């Protein structure tokens, strides 16, 4: 088996670790899995998974189909970010075209807890529409490439990202560079230090960045939660790296 992991997430790294150094072996052939992790290259200093890694895009659906065939890839796992809708759509189309099984690895989204003041919205544009009625000082954690939706708002923004944000950005913006995981104490202190009165985030799920939600709940700060895009129909979805590894083992020849 030659497995391509579309990664760039902690789940993608965890799956690569489960499949390294030789990975699970087929009972019938006793041949080791061959695994390559693919990263988009949008983060300047990514956390690399173990094993073989490629960095950069494929050139759309046609380019990915060509790669799958040239590399004799037998299985693909899409472990990209839940909001990487374009890559997921391309993976579904390319795998269908190349006849390669695709599994989507998506950790569960966050669930509101008692005391949360969540405002669920369908898009970043909708988040920008509701913000003026919720507060003047915004903690924006949607990623450095998604600030254009908020650029015209006359609000104060604290923007956190791994790399410096891409323009256009809101006129009144303070940028801080940081990479999770974050702690509840640290997030609480950050909200207090900057007098944040509304938090905007994507429903990414997972534990690395969930502490901000706990801090917001404790401080009574409302949260604008952007819902995930829909997944392609008919593609199997698993919730954990362990489930993905088990599914791959079950598909071994």
Joined together, the tokens standing for residue 216 give: 């917001």
- Of 42-46, 121-125, 166-170, 181-185, the poorest mean pLDDT is in 42-46
In the prediction, which pLDDT does 162 show? Answer: 87
Average pLDDT over residues 230-248: 96
In the prediction, which pLDDT does 43 show? Answer: 67
Joined together, the tokens standing for residue 235 give: 């593609």
In the prediction, which pLDDT does 244 show? Answer: 97
C-beta atoms surrounding 240 within 10 Å: 15
CA distances (Å), 249 to each of 81, 93, 240, in order?
A: 23, 24, 14
| pLDDT tens column, 39-83 | 987 666 778 899 999 999 999 999 999 999 999 999 999 999 999
In the prediction, which pLDDT does 32 show? Answer: 67
Give every CB contact of residue 123 below 8 A, 6+ residues apart in sequence: 226
When pLDDT is cut at 50, 70 and 90, the band that residue 228 belongs to is very high
Average pLDDT over residues 115-127: 97
What's the whole-number average pLDDT of the chain? 92
Check the CA dihedral 166-170-175-177 and report its sign.
negative
């Amino acid at each position: 088996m030659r497995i391509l992991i579309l990664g760039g997430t902690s789940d993608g790294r965890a799956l690569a670790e489960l499949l390294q150094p030789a990975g699970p072996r087929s009972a019938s052939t006793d041949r080791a899995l061959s695994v390559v992790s693919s990263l988009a290259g949008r983060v300047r200093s990514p956390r690399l998974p173990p094993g073989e890694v490629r960095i950069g895009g494929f050139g759309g659906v046609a380019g990915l189909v060509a790669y799958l065939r040239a590399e004799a890839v037998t299985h693909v796992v899409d472990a990209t970010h839940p909001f990487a809708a374009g890559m997921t759509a391309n993976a579904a189309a390319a795998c269908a075209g190349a006849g390669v099984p695709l599994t989507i690895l998506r950790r569960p989204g966050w669930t509101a807890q008692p005391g949360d003041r969540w405002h669920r919205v369908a898009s970043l544009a909708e988040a920008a529409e509701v913000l003026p009625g919720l507060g003047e000082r915004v903690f924006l954690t949607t990623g450095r490439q998604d600030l254009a939706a908020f650029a015209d708002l006359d609000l104060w923004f604290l923007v956190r990202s791994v790399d410096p944000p891409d323009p256009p950005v809101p006129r009144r913006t303070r940028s801080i560079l940081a990479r999770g995981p974050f702690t509840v104490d640290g997030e609480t202190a950050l909200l207090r230090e900057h007098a944040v009165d509304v938090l905007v985030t994507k429903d990414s799920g997972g534990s690395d960045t969930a502490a901000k939600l706990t801090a917001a709940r404790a401080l009574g700060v409302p949260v604008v939660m952007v819902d995930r895009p829909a997944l392609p129909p008919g593609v199997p979805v698993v919730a954990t790296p362990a489930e993905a590894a088990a599914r791959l083992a079950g598909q071994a020849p």
